Amino acid sequence: MSDKTNSVDRLISIIEKIGESKSPLPASDIIFDTGITKPTCHRLLQQLEEANYIQPDERGHFYPGSQMLSIALDVKWTNQHKLQRQAILHGLANKLEETCGLALANDDPAPHMVYYDRIQTNWPLQIVIPVGFPTPLWASASGKLYLSTLTPPQLRRVLSKIELTQCAKNTITDKQSLKKELSQIQRRGYSVDNEEFIDGMVAISLPLYDHDGNFMAALFCHCPKSRKDVADLESFLPILRSAQRSLETVYQDMKQQFG
C-alpha cells in the first residue's frame, strides 16, 4: 500500500472518529482510537483544521468543522433539490438585498443552530457568518424560532443544557423572559433578533415544516442595523412567506421521494 493511500486512510479514520463522537475529542483519544502515531496524528489534525473539516473548542478538543458539516448535510439533498433550494434563496436575497439562508438545529456538543446554506449580496458592509458556524439558541432569530416549536418537556430539557450568556447588548439572559419571547414567536409565526446575537446586527426567521408539522429548518435574513432595522425586515414578511412555502414544497417533495 502506498504512503498516499495510507495517509488517506488515516485522514478518513480521524474524520470518522470525530464525526461519530457525541462530544469534542482530545487528540489523545483520537491517537488511541485510531492507532496513528502521535506526530502523524497531530500533523493530520492540523491539515484537517486548516481545510475546515474539523475545528478545536476552547480546550483544544476537536469537533466537525464547516466542511464536514456541509458534506454531511448535502447528502440529504439530490442535485435537483439542491438547485431548487438555492434558486429560491438566490431569488429571496436579490429581492431583499440582504443575506438569506437556512439554519438547522444541532445537539452536538450542546444544543445550538448551525448555518446550513447562505446567499450573500454585494454590499461592501456585510456581516459574514460562515456555513457550519454554530449560533446560540437563545440569542439568534433562528434559535429562538426553533425553541418556540418545542413542547414544554422538550424546552425544559434543552434549556437545562445551555447557559443564557450575554452575546450582545440585547441578549435575553433570563429564562422566564425567554419563555415570554417564545410565546410571542408562537403567536406571530416568526422570530426576530434585535442585536441579541451580534451588536449592530438584526435578523428575522421563519420556520419550515414537513407534511406532519415537524420543524425542519429555519429560513433567515440578517443584515447590519445601520442599513435596515427590525421593522424593515418585518415589512418583507410577504416575500419571506412566499419563499418559506416554496422551500417547504421542495423539502417535502424530496422527503416523499426518498423517505
CB atoms within 10 A of CB 146: 26
Task: Work out the average pLDDT over 171-190.
Answer: 97
Once rounded to an integer, what is the mean pLDDT over residues 171-180?
A: 96
Asked if residue 1 has pLDDT above 50, the reply is no
Q: How far apart, in whole angstroms, are the C-alpha atoms of residue 45 and residue 50?
A: 9
Cβ–Cβ under 8 Å, residues 222 and 98: yes
Q: Please report the pLDDT score of residue 35 as a whole number.
A: 93
Q: Note the Cα 247 to chain centre separation in Å.
A: 17
Res 78: pLDDT:
59
DSSP string for residues in 14-43: HHHHHHH-SSPBPHHHHHHHH---HHHHHH
85 neighbors 77 (Cβ within 8 angstroms): yes
Q: Which residue type occupies 107? A: D
User: In order of start, what are the domains of the chain with their CATH numbers?
Assistant: 3-64 (1.10.10.10), 69-258 (3.30.450.40)
List 118's β-bridge partners, or say none.
Answer: 101
How many DSSP H helices and E strands does the chain contain?
Answer: 10, 8
* pLDDT score at 24: 85
- Mean pLDDT, rounded, for 168-181: 96
224-232 contact pairs (CB < 8 A, 24+): 224/125, 224/126, 224/127, 224/200, 225/195, 225/200, 225/201, 226/125, 226/200, 227/98, 227/123, 227/125, 228/98, 228/202, 229/202, 230/192, 230/194, 230/202, 230/204
CB-based contact 181:138 (threshold 8 Å):
no
Q: In 3D, which of 191, 203, 196 has the Cα closest to residue 227?
A: 203
For residue 91, is pLDDT > 60? yes
Residues above pLDDT 70, as percent of the chain:
89
